[in-house]
């Protein structure tokens, strides 16, 4: 199912640092945030040792987007991009855009490979964007994206639509066009938990006899996720549990059982294994086996059985 030979897409969470506090982010919502956040980086030596192009002949995308990180906060972010730029694949960076100077962003545009995108999370067409992106500065983000685009960088404007900002959607789209963004992506966030989503979730939980098959989104995309601790896991959806378990020690469901039964720190951490070994590890086999077991991982069930996901609308500008 997953091997380094067939792998096409790697998500990498580079750090546990970020400069702002978005209201729906794990950084704000987790009960264990103080023990998890602002502690570590995935270091450059580990990256150079464990991610070598020859190991991944079919790689197409490196995606710097984790659950808790602002990738641009990594002190060696330019060096990391330079490492992957040699691979001849696409690089994507998801950012809140409010860190660093305009010259830092100009340099980033210069070292990016020809196929790349920086996705700017800007949820408004002016300072209203700071309502969700608490601690950000619209003006600073604007200076940064202008500098990046002027230096040849290719950008996507990502707008998370909420009740408080949806009236600015069209203005933001026009602004993105005028500023030279390539694409505009609207996210209608599921994190509001609408009645419809709650109903679907309740239905999925209440009738295990008639449950849908799990169709693993990441396996289908030949994609994996590596978090800032160096743990290699199948997807971003399992990352909040992966980050919380070492500090909470709480067995919440089948996922934590699989971690403990298989000595997870030795089994899937880049300090001890290669990406290929992690993909063939006991933890990963436990996760795959769980999809057809009586007791499934609730996160796999809610994400990949009923397909309750954010809706993404992508438009070329
Ligand atoms: C945790 S962030 C990490 C990357 C970077 N710090 C950023 O915000 O773009 C990962 C992704 O989640 C998105 N995100 C944040 N809040 C969200 C929400 N309420 N619903 C859907 N996606 C959200 C971000 O825009 C980003 O694309
Ligand atoms: S910028 Fe990204 S990582 Fe930082 S708080 Fe917002 S969503 Fe979370
Ligand atoms: S939640 Fe489970 S089934 Fe869905 S992508 Fe992740 S590992 Fe695969």
310 pLDDT tier (thresholds 50, 70, 90): low
Report the separation in Å between the CA atom of 293 and the middle of ligand 2, taken as the mean of its atom positions: 35
DSSP string, 127-153: TTHHHHEET--HHHHHHHHHHHHHTT-
State residue 198's pLDDT score.
45
Q: What pLDDT sits at residue 206?
A: 47
Looking at residue 200, what is its pLDDT? 45
Ligand 1: which residue has its CA nearest to atom 2?
67
Confidence category of residue 307, pLDDT binned at 50, 70, 90? low
Closest to 157 (Cα-Cα) out of 167, 136, 139, 142: 142
Query: How much distance in Å is there from the Cα of 24 to the middle of ligand 2?
Result: 9
Per-residue pLDDT at 205 exceeds 60: no
Choose among 66, 48, 57, 42: nearest CA to 89: 57
Ligand 1 pocket by Cβ (under 6 Å): 18, 22, 24-25, 65-67, 69-70, 94-96, 121, 158, 160, 187, 189, 191, 310
CA of 25 to the centre of ligand 1 (A): 7
As a whole number of angstroms, the distance between CA 92 and CA 72 comes to: 12
Q: What are 143-171's pLDDT values in tens digits?
A: 999 999 999 999 999 999 999 999 999 99
* 196 pLDDT higher than 60: no
Q: Is the pLDDT of residue 296 over 80?
A: yes
- Whether the per-residue pLDDT at 240 is higher than 80: the answer is yes
Q: Which of 107, 103, 97, 106 is nearest to 150 (CA)?
A: 106
Output the pTM of the full model. 0.93
CB-neighbour burial class of residue 159 (10 A; exposed 0-12, middle 13-18, buried 19+):
buried
- Mean pLDDT value of segment 311-316: 76
When pLDDT is averaged across residues 57-78 and rounded to a whole number, the result is: 98
Per-residue confidence at 212, pLDDT binned at 50, 70, 90? Answer: confident
Q: What are phi and psi of 184, to 5 degrees?
A: -130, 125
Contact 3, 274 (CB under 8 A): no
CB atoms within 10 A of CB 36: 21
Has residue 11 got a pLDDT over 60? Answer: yes
Q: List CB contacts of 87: < 8 A, sequence separation 6 or more.
A: 53, 56, 59, 62, 113
Which residues make Cβ contacts (< 8 Å) with residue 263, sequence separation at least 6? none
């Amino acid at each position: 199912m997953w091997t380094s030979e067939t792998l096409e897409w790697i998500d990498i969470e580079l750090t546990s640092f970020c400069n702002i506090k978005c209201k729906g982010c794990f950084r704000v919502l987790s009960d264990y945030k103080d023990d998890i956040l602002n502690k570590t980086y995935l270091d450059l030596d580990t990256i150079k040792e464990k991610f070598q192009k020859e190991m991944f002949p079919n790689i197409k995308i490196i995606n710097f987007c984790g659950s808790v990180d602002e990738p641009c906060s990594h002190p060696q972010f330019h060096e990391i991009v330079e490492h992957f730029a040699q691979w001849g694949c696409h690089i994507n960076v998801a950012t809140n855009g409010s860190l660093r100077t305009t010259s830092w962003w100009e340099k980033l545009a210069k070292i990016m490979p020809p196929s790349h995108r920086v996705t700017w999370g800007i949820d408004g067409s002016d300072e209203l964007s700071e309502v969700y992106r608490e601690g950000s500065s619209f003006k600073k983000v604007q200076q940064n994206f202008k500098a990046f685009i002027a230096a040849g960088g290719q950008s996507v404007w990502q707008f998370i639509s909420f009740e408080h900002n949806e009236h600015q959607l069209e203005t933001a789209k026009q602004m993105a066009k005028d500023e030279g963004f390539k694409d505009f992506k609207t996210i209608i966030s599921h994190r509001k938990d609408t009645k419809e989503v709650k109903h679907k979730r309740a239905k999925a939980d209440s009738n295990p006899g008639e449950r849908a098959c799990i169709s693993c989104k990441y396996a289908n995309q030949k994609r994996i996720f590596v978090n800032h601790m160096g743990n290699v896991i199948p997807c971003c959806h399992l990352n909040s549990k992966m980050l919380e378990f070492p500090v909470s020690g709480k067995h919440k469901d089948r996922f934590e059982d699989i971690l403990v039964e298989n000595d997870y720190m030795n089994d899937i951490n880049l300090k001890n294994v290669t990406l290929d070994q992690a993909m063939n590890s006991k933890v990963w086999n436990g996760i795959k086996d769980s999809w057809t077991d009586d007791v499934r991982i609730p996160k796999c069930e809610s994400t990949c059985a009923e397909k309750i996901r954010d809706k993404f609308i992508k438009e070329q500008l």
